[in-house]
């Protein structure tokens, strides 16, 4: 079964500090992993996908298949990074392709 | 703008009533997903359609139903509404099940 775990419901850091939002997944096949961000109860927006290996708004995420993790990192957090972050896993289950979301981590960046 | 359109933006109704939420996917996207987001439950997957057919079901109550029409727009019907159904309902679309989802701005449902 596909499963995504984001162990931290809340994460609070100071501006300029490094931030890491954890995501672990469980999936027997070849995973596709994404990070979505939601600002102030607006729509969810795609932030990163692992196959792109890009950096968006200073965030990066590396897929670690050995640890089944896809942690989101930023070296210097900004106040505008405060938002809900959701990790998502794309895979095939029961013949259907589906995307499973973690429960989300609320990041607060304090001035 | 994600290209996914949801109407209405806000809906206020009374317990026991029935409402219909509408979603138009991005042009070319065949998959439509519905999610419920409440303060205490987070983002809950409800149901997925692909090209008019139901593909996956999540935590969708029997009082709720959905369909995807030939023009690919989708409707989520919520009936016998309860106070606990108050939430943000998001629609998302994608080209396929493993592609990134593009979310609409959501419909905020308030049941009084």
**Which range has the worst mean pLDDT, A12-26, A45-59, A68-82, B56-70?**
A45-59
Question: Does the structure show a pLDDT above 70 at A94?
Answer: no
Give pLDDT tens digits for B20-43. Answer: 999 999 999 999 999 999 877 778
Asked if A45's CB is within 8 angstroms of B90's CB, the reply is: no
Chain B partners within 8 Å of A94 (Cβ): 56
Asked if B100's CB is within 8 angstroms of A97's CB, the reply is: no
Distance from CA of B105 to the nearest CA of A (A): 5
Question: Does the structure show a pLDDT above 70 at A92?
Answer: no
Residue A70's Cβ-side half-sphere holds a number of Cα atoms within 13 Å equal to 26
CA-to-CA dists, residue A52 to A61, A62, A63, A104, angstroms: 10, 10, 11, 22
CA nearest to B6, candidates B33, B19, B25, B30: B25
CA nearest to A2, candidates A56, A75, A68: A68
Show the tokens assigned to B39.
């303060």
Element (H, E) at B97: none
Residue A60 backbone phi and psi in degrees, to 5: -135, 160
* Helix, strand, coil percent content, chain B, rounded in steps of 5: 5, 55, 45
Residue A81 backbone phi and psi in degrees, to 5: -80, -10
Return the higher-pLDDT residue of B66 and A98.
B66
For residue B51, the 8-state DSSP code is T
Q: CA-nearest residue of chain A to B47?
A: A98
Give the Cα separation of A27 and A102 in Å (integer): 13
Which residues on neighbouring strands pair with residue B103, listed in sequence order?
Answer: B92
Contact A3/B at CB under 8 A: no
């Amino acid at each position: 079964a596909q499963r995504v775990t984001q162990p931290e419901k809340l994460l609070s850091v100071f501006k300029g500090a490094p931030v890491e939002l954890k995501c672990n997944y469980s999936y027997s096949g070849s995973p596709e992993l994404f990070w979505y961000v939601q600002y102030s109860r607006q729509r969810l927006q795609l932030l990163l996908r692992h196959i792109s290996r890009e950096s968006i708004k200073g965030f990066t995420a590396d897929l670690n298949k050995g640890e089944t993790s896809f942690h989101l990192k930023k070296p210097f957090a900004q106040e505008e990074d405060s938002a809900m972050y959701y990790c998502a896993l794309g895979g095939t289950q029961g013949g259907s392709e589906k995307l499973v979301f973690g429960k989300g981590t609320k990041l607060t960046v304090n001035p | 703008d994600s290209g996914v359109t949801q109407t209405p933006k806000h809906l206020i109704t009374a317990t026991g009533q029935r409402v219909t939420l509408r979603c138009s996917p991005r042009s070319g996207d065949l998959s439509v997903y519905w999610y419920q987001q409440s303060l205490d439950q987070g983002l809950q997957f409800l149901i997925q359609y692909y090209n008019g057919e139901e593909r996956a079901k999540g935590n969708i109550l029997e009082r709720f139903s959905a369909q995807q029409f030939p023009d690919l727009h989708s409707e989520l019907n919520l009936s016998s509404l309860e106070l606990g159904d108050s939430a943000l309902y998001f629609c998302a679309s994608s080209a396929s099940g493993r592609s990134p989802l593009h979310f609409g701005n959501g419909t905020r449902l308030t049941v009084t």
